[in-house]
Chains A and B, each alone.
Chain A
Amino acid sequence: ETGVTQTPRHLVMGMTNKKSLKCEQHLGHNAMYWYKQSAKKPLELMFVYNFKEQTENNSVPSRFSPECPNSSHLFLHLHTLQPEDSALYLCASSQGSVLAGFGGRETQYFGPGTRLLVL
C-alpha cells in the first residue's frame, strides 16, 4: 500500500462512452500526476498538477480531461476515446513538483493503476 488509491481498477468502455478515473492520495503531497502505460512502451507523463494548478499538459488529446479539485484528489475524465487509448493509467503523487523548485528530486509514489480497454 503506497498511500495512493485509484478507482476503478479495471474499466471497459465503448468509444461513445464518458467515464472518469479517480485518484486519491493520503500522503499529504502537493503534486499529482497522470501517466499512461501502453504495451511495450515506457511510461508517458500526461498531466502534472502542483497545488491544484495544472503545470504540465504533455500534448495530450482533448478527449482526456484532467481535474484536480484539491491536492488530494485527481480525476481523469474520458470521452470519445479510441481503441489505441487502451492502456494502464497510473496516478502518482510527490511532495513537490518541478515548478515548486524541486527539480525532479522528489520521489513519486504510484497508485495501483486503472487498466482501461476501449472497444
Chain B
Amino acid sequence: GIQVEQSPPDLILQEGANSTLRCNFSDSVNNLQWFHQNPWGQLINLFYIPSGTKQNGRLSATTVATERYSLLYISSSQTTDSGVYFCAVPSNTGKLIFGQGTTLQVKP
C-alpha cells in the first residue's frame, strides 16, 4: 500500500523562527491534507492541497504531485503552533493514510 513519510520527526524552534515540514508519499494521489493536532489532541484541518500552493495566514503549503511530496511552511512561529503536524493521503480504496507526524515545539 501507499507509504507516507514525514520529516523531521521532531522540531524545536524559537518563537519567531520559520520552518519547513516535508511529506513524501510513495504513489500518485488525488488528494493530500495537512492537519495540526494541538496538545489537547484535537485534529484541525490546515490544507486540502492535491497540487499547487495555498496560503492561510502564516502557513502555506505546496504539493508537487509529480514528484510525490508536499511541504508545509510555518513562518514567524508562535507558541500556539506547537503540536503534531500530520499529512494524509488516500489509499487506492480511498482510506486516508497518515504519516507518523512531525512534533513541533515552539519555545517563547
Residues of chain A having any CB pair with chain B under 8 Å: 2, 37, 42-43, 45, 48, 56, 58, 88, 90, 92, 97-98, 102-113, 115
B contact residues around A108 at 8 Å (CB): 33, 45, 96
Look across to chain B and name the residue whose beta carbon is closest to the beta carbon of A98.
Answer: B94
A47 shortest CB reach to chain B, Å: 11
Chain A proximity mask over B35-65: 1 for CB below 8 Å, otherwise 0: 1000011111100101000000000000000
Report yes or no: A112 in contact with B95, Cβ–Cβ below 8 A: no
Report yes or no: A110 in contact with B42, Cβ–Cβ below 8 A: yes
A110-B43, A110-B45 known; A42+B99 contact, CB < 8 A: yes
How many A-B contacts if CB must be within 8 Å?
A: 67
A101 shortest CB reach to chain B, Å: 9
Report yes or no: A104 in contact with B98, Cβ–Cβ below 8 A: no
| CB-defined A-B contacts under 8 Å, sample of 15 | A2-B45, A43-B43, A45-B96, A88-B41, A92-B43, A97-B94, A98-B93, A98-B94, A103-B30, A103-B90, A104-B90, A104-B96, A110-B43, A113-B41, A115-B41
- In the bound complex, how far is the Cα of B52 from the Cα of A70, in angstroms? 37
Q: Does B19 contact A (CB under 8 A)?
A: no
Q: Count chain B residues whose beta carbon lies closer than 8 angstroms to a beta carbon of A.
A: 28
Residues of chain B having any CB pair with chain A under 8 Å: 4, 29-31, 33, 35, 40-45, 48, 50, 86, 88-91, 93-101
- In the bound complex, how far is the Cα of B44 from the Cα of A3, in angstroms? 11
**By DSSP majority rule, is chain A's interface helix, strand, loop, or mixed?**
loop
